């Protein structure tokens, strides 16, 4: 079953990652984590996101409303996602637990629903 892991961390973590002294060890932890998922054969894809650049769109009374991020509902910023193929939710949760974002923010785990075939 495929799961999407969504990584969220406080803004100060993203700023720290830009620091030439403090950033590399944190980014190395991410590289080790991604490599481990690749080595385990569960990584299907994903991307790092520009954490401060999101835009939210909703339609109210037939009119589009746009809100630029970061969004007030969360102090943690969405920094990226991966799609993994894990045999169980427990296994997906185990991989989420190992994420560097779970130590400084949190990691969301969602099962991916297969689209019906026509």
In a domain, 20, yes or no: yes
Alpha-carbon separation of residue 8 from 59, 76, 87 (angstroms): 26, 5, 24
Q: State the Cα–Cα distance between residues 92 and 14, nearest whole angstrom.
A: 24
Q: Which domain holds residue 16?
A: 2-111
In a domain, 117, yes or no: no
> Taking CA 7 as the corner, what is the angle to CA 32 and CA 17, rounded to the nearest 5 degrees?
60
In a domain, 118, yes or no: no
pLDDT, greater one: 117 or 1? 1
In a domain, 13, yes or no: yes
Encode pLDDT of 45-96 as tens digits: 999 887 667 777 889 999 998 877 655 555 677 889 999 999 999 999 999 9
Count the domains in the chain. Answer: 1
Q: Tokens 């109210």 — which residue?
A: 60
Find the CATH number of the domain harbouring 7.
3.30.70.1060
In a domain, 7, yes or no: yes
């Amino acid at each position: 079953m495929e799961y999407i892991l969504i990584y969220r961390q406080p803004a100060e973590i993203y700023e720290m990652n830009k620091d030439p002294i403090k950033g590399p060890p944190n980014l190395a932890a991410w590289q080790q984590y991604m490599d481990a998922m690749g080595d385990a054969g569960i990584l299907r894809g994903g991307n790092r996101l520009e954490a401060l650049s999101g835009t939210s769109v909703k339609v109210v009374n037939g009119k589009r409303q746009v809100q630029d991020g970061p969004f007030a509902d969360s102090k943690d910023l969405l920094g990226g996602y991966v799609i993994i193929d894990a045999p169980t939710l427990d296994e997906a949760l185990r991989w989420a637990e190992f994420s560097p974002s779970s130590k400084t923010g949190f990691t969301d785990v969602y099962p991916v629903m297969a689209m019906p075939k026509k």
